Amino acid sequence: MPEMTPETLVDLEEIKRLKAAYCRCVDTKGWDELRSLFADDTVFEGFGSAPTGSTVDQFITGISGRLTTAVTIHHCHMPEIAFKGADQARGTWAMMDIVELAPGTSPREAPGHRGFFGYGHYQDEYRREGGVWKFCFKRLTRLRVDPMPHDHPPIRTDLLAVDPHWLMWRPRP
């Protein structure tokens, strides 16, 4: 394992924050912010919302079209990150997602059901552009998909929503 310098530790933390922002943006439907996390030449592989080889814009169109009315929960943890030079890195993240689609919609991952519980890994590549880490490749692999039955408790719509500006330290109304 290469020696960890203070700079490398800062880079690791920035990459972890990038991944956290990805999960939050998907789950809160922050499509414009989600788009800003990717380099323009990012390629995607293994996603149900966009075919393998999709561009960033195809991915954002696919994910926003598929998940805007869905309830999703994405958890990523146990990152393993390796650097290739000062401005390139790769990471593998264990992941779990819950996807509950709108009534009358059936997911490709669990046909005939209202959603699924998924488990697997993200394999990402990162590149620093203009001093900011961005995704430049993203692969989703799955170890297991458990269908969400139609009699699963219904979606609650009375829950407090996340404040998308929380980290910007704006005064609360």
Query: What total number of domains does the chain contain?
Result: 1
In three-state secondary structure terms, 100 is strand
* Residue/partner pairs of 125-128 with CB below 8 Å, 24 or more apart: 125/88, 125/89, 125/90, 125/91, 126/15, 126/18, 126/88, 126/89, 126/90, 126/91, 127/39, 127/87, 127/88, 128/11, 128/86, 128/87, 128/88
The beta strands (E) that lie in the chain are given as 38-45, 71-83, 88-100, 115-129, 132-148
In this structure, is residue 98 part of a structural domain?
yes
| Distances from the Cα of 150 to the Cα of 18, 30, 153, 169, angstroms | 34, 28, 8, 41
Phi/psi at 28 (nearest 5 deg)? -100, 5
Give the closest residue to 164 by CA, choosing from 25, 2, 53.
25
How many other C-beta atoms lie within 10 A of the C-beta of residue 22? 21
DSSP state of 144: E
The DSSP code sequence of 42-89 is EEEESBTTB-TT--HHHHHHHHHHHHTTSEEEEEEEEEEEEESSSSEE
User: What is the extent of the structural domain holding 23?
Assistant: 6-151
In this structure, is residue 40 part of a structural domain?
yes
In this structure, is residue 10 part of a structural domain?
yes
In this structure, is residue 166 part of a structural domain?
no
At residue 169, the pLDDT reads: 67
CATH of the domain at 87: 3.10.450.50
Q: What is the maximum span of the chain, computed from C-alpha positions, in angstroms?
A: 53
In this structure, is residue 165 part of a structural domain?
no
Indicate the pairing of strand 88-100 with strand 71-83.
antiparallel
In this structure, is residue 162 part of a structural domain?
no
In this structure, is residue 161 part of a structural domain?
no
At residue 170, the pLDDT reads: 61
At residue 2, the pLDDT reads: 63
How many other C-beta atoms lie within 10 A of the C-beta of residue 146? 14
At residue 156, the pLDDT reads: 78
Radius of gyration of the chain (CA): 17
Which residues of the chain fall below pLDDT 50? none
In this structure, is residue 21 part of a structural domain?
yes
